[in-house]
């Protein structure tokens, strides 16, 4: 899996994902700190990367886009320190690899996570 860390995600999280063998980059690595959310989505889609973010806007943008990619993992955690984030992220990566590769919005909370498949269908 390939990841793109948004500005709110610690560089330590990205570095740890690299150490695990994932292809992970941060917006800072690419000197793209000021890139708009819409353009972050375009970049992630072109490079088939999963967006890692604390920004709820990505879920809304993707839900209304009608697209099935890119996937996004949104953190809604009380603590944002890298060890805590990774402790919540690792099980999701193990359990949801196929889901993420096919398109989903996954919201990780302190006690659980929620999966919404992309494209989001109007019901």
Counting other chains too, the contacts that 74-77 makes at CB distance below 8 Å and 24 or more residues apart are 74/105, 74/106, 74/107, 74/108, 75/9, 75/108, 76/107, 76/108, 76/109, 76/110, 77/108, 77/109, 77/110
**Residue owning tokens 């019901």:** 123
122 within some domain: no
- State how many domains the chain has: 1
Residue 79: pLDDT over 70: yes
Average predicted confidence (pLDDT) for the chain = 95
State the Cα–Cα distance between residues 44 and 39, nearest whole angstrom: 8
Using CB atoms within 10 A of its CB, is residue 26 exposed (0-12), middle (13-18) or buried (19+)? Answer: buried
Q: Is 32 within the bounds of a domain?
A: yes
Residue 36, domain extent? 2-117
Total residue length of the chain = 123
Q: pLDDT tens digit string along 17-58?
A: 999 999 999 999 989 889 999 999 999 999 999 999 999 999
Residue 77 within a domain: yes
- pLDDT of 122: 64
Average pLDDT over every residue of 75-86: 96
Quote the pLDDT of residue 52: 98
DSSP state for residue 78 in the 8-state scheme: S
- Residue 92 inside a domain? The answer is yes
Q: What does pTM read for this prediction?
A: 0.95
């Amino acid at each position: 899996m390939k990841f793109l860390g948004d500005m709110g995600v610690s560089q330590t999280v990205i570095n740890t994902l690299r150490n695990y063998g994932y292809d992970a980059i941060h917006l800072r690595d690419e000197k793209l700190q000021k890139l708009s959310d819409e353009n972050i989505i375009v970049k992630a889609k072109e490079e088939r990367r999963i967006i890692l973010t604390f920004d709820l806007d990505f879920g809304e943008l993707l839900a209304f886009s009608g697209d099935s990619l890119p996937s996004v993992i949104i953190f809604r955690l009380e603590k944002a320190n890298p060890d805590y984030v990774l402790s919540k992220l690792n099980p999701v990566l193990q359990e949801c690899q196929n889901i993420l590769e096919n398109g989903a919005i996954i919201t990780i909370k302190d006690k659980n996570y929620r999966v919404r498949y992309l494209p989001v269908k109007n019901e």
